[in-house]
């Protein structure tokens, strides 16, 4: 069970940050600019990597909207079941502390879902499970910060159903390793009708990649990360 660090509920729309580039004058313009750019890029990469791992300050967290997840998405669970992700499990075993079979069992629980596809169109979310589809419109219900056993943290961005089909869950909660507005290449989604109960879920995290991705694309992305 994680320790929940309650943040102030953020119901604001996603903030837009504007940066003005510094002016360069005099000789050595190209050299100075390139050096600064490379340094800033390396710093930003390291900074983002730490956030991705779950190490960040509360003041770095920003509200997000459904704009970050717009489009059509597919579950990766069927690819685990049919063996497509076996190379990913083998790769993890080479670099981790479990066997490929143990990793597969871990992700079998993590990825498990009957929701094969999800579509975000504005504030409307459509879930597809087999031949059945159901939808709801969702509004921001802020975010919560979770602290995990090993000391790193994660942010759950929460949206509550405003209207729609009865079968559509009351709450959906995103976790994608980011803590500010950003379009992403995959995400984990939790859902249910009890906000607090959904927050406590840590073992089952259905994971979705763009519907346009082929099986090979997904394998490549997973190994790259």
**What pTM value is reported for the model?**
0.79
Considering the domain architecture, whether residues 55 and 72 belong to the same structural domain is answered as no
Tell me whether residue 133 is in a domain: yes
pLDDT score at 198: 98
Domain that holds residue 101: 68-224
Asked if residue 219 is part of any domain, the answer here is yes
Structure tokens at 108: 């079998």
Helices 86-95 & 100-111, crossing angle to 10 degrees? 120
| CATH number of the domain encompassing residue 204 | 2.40.128.20
pLDDT, one tens digit per residue, over 132-186 is: 999 999 999 999 999 988 889 999 999 999 999 999 999 999 999 999 999 999 9
Does 34 share its domain with 120? no
Averaged pLDDT in 10-residue chunks for the chain of 225 residues: 42 35 32 41 60 91 97 98 98 96 97 98 98 98 93 95 98 96 96 97 97 98 90
- pLDDT for res 114: 97
Would you say residue 33 lies in a domain? yes
């Amino acid at each position: 069970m994680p320790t929940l660090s309650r943040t102030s509920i953020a119901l604001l729309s996603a903030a837009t940050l504007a940066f003005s580039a510094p002016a360069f004058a005099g000789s050595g313009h190209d050299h100075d600019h390139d050096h600064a750019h490379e340094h800033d890029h390396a710093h930003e990469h390291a900074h983002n990597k730490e956030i991705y791992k779950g190490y960040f300050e509360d003041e770095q967290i920003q509200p997000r909207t459904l704009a970050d997840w717009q489009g059509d998405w597919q579950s990766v669970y069927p690819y685990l079941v049919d063996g497509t992700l076996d190379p990913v499990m083998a790769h993890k075993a080479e670099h981790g502390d479990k066997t490929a079979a143990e990793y597969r069992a871990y992700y079998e629980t993590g990825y498990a879902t009957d929701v094969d596809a999800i579509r975000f169109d504005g504030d409307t979310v459509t879930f597809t499970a087999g031949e059945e589809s159901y939808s709801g419109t969702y509004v921001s219900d802020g975010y919560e910060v979770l602290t995990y056993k090993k000391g790193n943290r994660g942010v759950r961005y929460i949206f509550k159903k405003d209207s729609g089909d009865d079968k559509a869950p009351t709450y959906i909660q995103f976790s994608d390793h980011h803590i500010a507005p950003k379009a992403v290449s995959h995400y984990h989604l939790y859902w249910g009708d009890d906000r607090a109960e959904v927050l406590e879920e840590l073992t089952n995290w259905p994971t979705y990649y763009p519907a346009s991705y082929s099986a090979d694309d997904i394998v490549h992305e997973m190994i790259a990360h």
